[in-house]
Amino acid sequence: MKEPPDAETLKRIADGLDDPVEDLVRKDSQFKKLELNEEDYVGNASAVIDLLSQKKALIQRPILVRGDLSKGQKVTACIGRPKEKIYEFFGQDG
């Protein structure tokens, strides 16, 4: 990720997310290595944003966004996993 989102952008993405906010966090080996507890992030946008602001490698990808993140408008966001969600987001059949 060349330019990871800052905390404000992460908040706007979280606000527009249809998925549970904790799904923004990758629960891979790095998450486990940091000895983080998944339950600390369930439904807790503030904790998710704080974590991802500090540990950018834990941001789940891809994140699809409809709208302009730079203009302060409400956006719609979706985590593109599994790949079928990408087709759903764009209103296409897989």
Number of residues in the chain: 94
Over its length of 94 residues, how does the chain's per-residue pLDDT go in tens digits? 678 899 999 999 999 998 999 999 999 999 999 999 999 999 999 999 999 999 999 999 999 999 998 887 899 999 999 999 999 999 976 5
> How far is it, in rounded angstroms, from Cα 68 to Cα 16?
12
pLDDT at residue number 71: 81
**CB-based contact 25:86 (threshold 8 Å):** no
Identify which of 25, 83, 94 has the alpha carbon closest to the alpha carbon of residue 55: 25
pLDDT at residue number 80: 95
Q: Count of CB atoms within 10 A of residue 72's CB?
A: 9
pLDDT at residue number 94: 56
pTM score over 0.95 = no
User: What angle, rounded to 10 degrees, do the helices at 7-16 and 45-54 form?
Assistant: 140
